[in-house]
């Protein structure tokens, strides 16, 4: 790609539901002590969804808000890239086209597609959008959107699901513009580690599991529904062991690749916007990369809002005055599979 080619983020919006739950309230549900939720898991408060908070609906809300912010008209959008969760309102559904319909874009004005990469999807989407715009000069303005309600897959009464207790619903939308001389997307790094490929899966709606035979089983024993409606963990002890050994180098390798592709060094990162895993994990990544711990804002009062985390963290950094004109902002994502992704954004002009 030509180093002079520029794609910038015109603006963005993060949608979060109205309701929240505190660590004290969550403790009563999970039977996990409040101090453990706050100090170890990083949950002081988190968002909870309402009846209309689903990935496609939330993505549309974020999309409409970013259009209002920017003044961009729906018919000016050339491409809509949905980078959120495919665990959504329906199976076999292209959410990007739904967003296209709901914002008032037409069959003649743009096209849309979905990108599935779990909670590592946002940095990958920035890479795909930029490279697609480079390959197709007709694409001037691209909308990247995403929504996530994987929190619904977490059984809050199952201790083996404790790593999912911080999950919360959320969505984002961003407008990317060709040749925009601000908030430029630089390089991206991607790591996929196949040892985790089937460790965390959602069986509900999968073609392999909801067979007629399974339906008959459910009719005889409704408790089976609990197994289907929640995420299934396979080889849990092996997964924990692999995460302890591999997650830190996988995270840091994604960032190192992004930095190399951006022409900077990890220690030149001015702010880290990372998906909310745990304070220990996030600060461990920063320590390993030589990034000072004050160059981030942890999502203590938000939870892990999936694909929206990266733009939520960006917004928190701007509000806290930690992101300034010319800052090298590192977005870092991770999703089950496991996938790790990182993009560098030169914020400001």
The per-residue pLDDT for range 205-253, each reduced to its tens digit, is: 777 766 777 778 878 887 777 777 889 888 888 998 998 999 999 999 9
Mean pLDDT across 14-30 = 98
Q: What is the pLDDT of residue 223?
A: 75
DSSP secondary structure, 266-315, as one string: GGG--EEEE--S-HHHHHHHHHHHT--TTS----TTT-B-GGGHHHHHHH
Confidence of residue 18 (pLDDT cuts 50, 70, 90): very high
Determine contact, residues 276/309, Cβ cutoff 8 Å.
yes
Mean pLDDT across 321-330 = 98
* Portions of the chain given CATH number 3.40.47.10: 7-181, 186-198+231-346
Mean pLDDT across 78-92 = 96
**Confidence (pTM):** 0.95
3-state secondary structure of 86: coil
Confidence of residue 203 (pLDDT cuts 50, 70, 90): confident
3-state secondary structure of 252: helix
Whole-number percent of the chain with pLDDT over 90: 85
Least confident span in 23-37, 147-161, 191-205: 191-205
Mean pLDDT across 22-27 = 98
Flag whether pLDDT at 188 surpasses 90.
Answer: yes
Determine contact, residues 312/14, Cβ cutoff 8 Å.
yes
Q: What is the pLDDT of residue 304?
A: 98
58 or 230, which is more confident: 58
Flag whether pLDDT at 3 surpasses 90.
Answer: no
DSSP secondary structure, 330-347, as one string: EEEEEETTTEEEEEEEE-
Q: What is the pLDDT of residue 209?
A: 66
Per-residue pLDDT tens over the stretch 169-184:
999 999 999 999 999 9
Q: Yes or no: is domain 186-198+231-346 CATH 3.40.47.10?
A: yes
Q: What is the pLDDT of residue 122?
A: 98
Flag whether pLDDT at 115 surpasses 80.
Answer: yes
Per-residue pLDDT tens over the stretch 261-289:
999 999 999 999 999 999 999 999 999 99
If we measure between CA atoms, which residue out of 193, 206, 194, 201 comes closest to residue 234? 201
Flag whether pLDDT at 121 surpasses 70.
Answer: yes
Residue 176: beta bridge partners? 9, 142
Class of CATH domain 7-181: alpha beta
């Amino acid at each position: 790609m030509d180093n002079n080619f520029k794609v910038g983020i015109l603006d963005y919006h993060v949608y979060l539901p109205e309701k929240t739950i505190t660590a004290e309230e969550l403790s009563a549900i999970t039977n996990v002590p409040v101090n453990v939720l706050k100090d170890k898991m990083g949950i002081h408060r988190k968002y909870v969804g309402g009846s209309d908070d689903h990935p496609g609906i939330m993505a549309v809300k974020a999309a409409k808000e970013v259009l209002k912010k920017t003044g961009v008209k729906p018919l000016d959008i050339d491409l809509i890239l949905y980078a959120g969760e495919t665990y959504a309102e329906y199976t076999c559904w292209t959410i990007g086209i739904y967003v296209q319909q709901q914002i008032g874009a037409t069959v003649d004005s743009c096209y849309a597609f979905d990108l599935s990469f779990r909670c590592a999807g946002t940095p990958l989407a920035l890479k795909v959008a930029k490279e697609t715009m480079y390959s197709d000069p007709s694409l001037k303005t691209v909308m990247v959107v995403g929504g996530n309600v994987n929190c619904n897959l977490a059984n809050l009464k199952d201790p083996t699901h404790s790593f999912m207790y911080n999950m919360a619903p959320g969505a984002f939308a961003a407008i990317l513009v060709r040749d925009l001389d601000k908030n430029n997307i630089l390089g991206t790094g991607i790591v996929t580690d196949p040892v985790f490929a089937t460790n965390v899966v959602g069986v509900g709606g999968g073609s392999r599991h909801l067979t007629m035979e399974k339906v008959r089983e459910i009719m005889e024993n409704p408790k089976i529904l609990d197994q289907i409606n929640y995420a299934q963990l396979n080889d849990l002890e092996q997964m924990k062991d692999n995460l302890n050994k591999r997650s830190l180098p996988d995270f840091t390798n994604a960032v190192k690749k992004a930095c190399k592709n951006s022409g900077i060094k990890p220690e030149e990162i001015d702010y880290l916007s990372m998906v909310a895993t745990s304070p220990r994990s996030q600060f461990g990544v920063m320590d390993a990369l030589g990034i000072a711990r004050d160059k981030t804002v942890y999502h203590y009062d938000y939870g892990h809002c999936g694909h929206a985390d990266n733009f939520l963290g960006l917004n928190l950094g701007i509000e806290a005055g930690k992101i300034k004109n010319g800052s090298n902002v590192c977005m870092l994502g991770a999703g089950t599979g496991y996938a790790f992704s990182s993009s560098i954004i030169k914020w400001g002009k």
